[in-house]
Amino acid sequence: MLAKKNIREFNLPELKEYFESVGDKKFRAIQTYEWLWKKNARSFDEMSNLSLELRQKLAQEFDLVALRVDASQHSSDGTLKSRFKTHDGHMIEGVLIPTEKRNTACVSSQIGCSLSCKFCATGLMDRKRNLGFDEIYDQVALLNEESNRVYGHNLTNIVYMGMGEPLLNYKNVLRSIERITASDSMNMSPKRITVSTAGVAKMIKQLGDDQVRFNLALSLHAATDEKRNRIMAINETNNIQALIEALNYFYDKTKNDITLEYVLLQGENDSLEDAAELVKVYRKIPTHLVNVIEYNAVAGIDFVKTGEDQTEIFTKYLADHKVNVRVRRSRGKDIDAACGQLANKG
């Protein structure tokens, strides 16, 4: 018996061809497509303006592979974490982060991660597989439903900063963004989407060649190769100079915003000497912002959060040296939903 095809792999012209081939009207393809991408149907049974006979036929010929919410947690600060279950039984996590001005969805791109960054809970997990473009899309759609249910309005921003390295799932990440930004789907501006990478220089350049319209964030976290090698193994094959060259290439091709992410680890990367090295890197990249991030404790990892006084000294040094810097306060720490904490703990 042949495996059924995932119906969401079909674009609208291909769906029209299918309906014509089975002797049905083309407009049925439009109706089906709306259920898939605007109404976010989780099964063919939900497609109520299609006949029962047609719904049964679609279910016989196609799979509709959709994420399900397996568990939800609400933080005292308003952050919501959802654990999603895939069709093959894996778990991934996404987070809804509300503020006064925006509601941001933080979504995952892989089940687990292969990079093993030493401060990250996801890095303790094995990478099981890449997420499909539709599975990434589903996270956004489900978090958007949650945003409307709890806060009364749509998502305003999306960050690919959850589990996994987005640029190691390149095609599915770009295809998910194409669906999220499409006028026949969520119609979100690509300028409200940021993809975060631990630093895959070759694929950063590929983003430039592909003329993407979304923003990019580099998880730098140390400004010398010696220190970055110690906490991020990827730096051994994608060193800081390679990343500087790749980010300049990306900016020359796209003119999109670039942010540097820098998590402060006590005694590891938070001295004034570290700040001075960060200034040097900042001046070599057309970045518009350095996000200094509070470290969030992870069981089994020995790093400690930098204290408030040292954080202020570090960021003041950056500001005094004309670095556009912002401290990103952690949200959702009490439910393990903050930066670096996603590990399917539920």
Q: In this structure, what CATH number is given to the domain that contains residue 21?
A: 1.10.150.530
Tokens 């006064």, residue located: 100
pLDDT of the residue at 281: 98
Same domain? 203 vs 331: yes
Same domain? 112 vs 29: no
Residue 296 lies in a domain: yes
Among residues 344, 307, 345, which one has the least CA distance to residue 327?
A: 307
Given 106, 113, 120, 339, the catalytic residue: 339
Using CA atoms, how far residue 333 sits from 76, 203, 312, 340, 345, in Å, is 9, 31, 21, 10, 13
Same domain? 203 vs 256: yes
Same domain? 315 vs 267: yes
Using CA atoms, how far residue 6 sits from 63, 64, 76, 93, 132, in Å, is 5, 6, 39, 23, 11
Phi, psi values for residue 33, rounded to 5°: -60, -40
Same domain? 44 vs 109: no
Phi-psi region of 249 (alpha: psi -120 to 50; beta: other; left: phi over 0): alpha
Query: In the numeric block, which tokens belong to residue 277?
Result: 């090295």
Catalytic residue status for 93: yes
Query: Rounded to whole angstroms, how far apart are CA atoms 332 and 337?
Result: 5
Catalytic residue status for 339: yes
Same domain? 139 vs 189: yes
Residue 88 lies in a domain: yes
Query: Rounded to whole angstroms, how far apart are CA atoms 123 and 71?
Result: 22
Of the CA atoms within 13 Å of residue 332, those in its CB half-sphere come to: 27
Residue 36 lies in a domain: yes
Same domain? 243 vs 299: yes
Tokens 């996270």, residue located: 139
pLDDT of the residue at 1: 47
Residue 346 lies in a domain: no
Residue 343 lies in a domain: no
pLDDT of the residue at 329: 75
Residue 53 belongs to domain spanning: 5-63
Number of domains in the chain: 2
Number of residues that this document lists for the chain? 346
Given 93, 135, 165, 261, the catalytic residue: 93
Same domain? 170 vs 138: yes
Residue 266 lies in a domain: yes
Query: Rounded to whole angstroms, how far apart are CA atoms 80 and 335?
Result: 9
CB atoms within 10 A of CB 178: 14
Phi, psi values for residue 92, rounded to 5°: -135, 165
CB atoms within 10 A of CB 53: 8
pLDDT of the residue at 341: 47
pLDDT of the residue at 340: 46
Query: Rounded to whole angstroms, how far apart are CA atoms 169 and 133?
Result: 9
Same domain? 121 vs 25: no
The tens place of each residue's pLDDT in the chain, 346 residues long, gives: 457 899 999 999 999 999 999 888 889 999 999 999 999 999 999 999 999 999 999 999 999 989 999 998 988 888 999 999 999 999 999 999 998 889 999 999 999 888 878 788 776 777 889 999 999 999 999 999 999 999 999 999 999 999 999 999 999 999 999 999 999 999 999 999 999 999 999 999 999 999 999 999 999 999 999 999 999 999 999 999 999 999 999 999 999 999 999 999 999 999 999 999 999 999 999 998 999 999 887 777 788 999 999 999 999 999 999 999 999 876 655 545 445 444 444 4
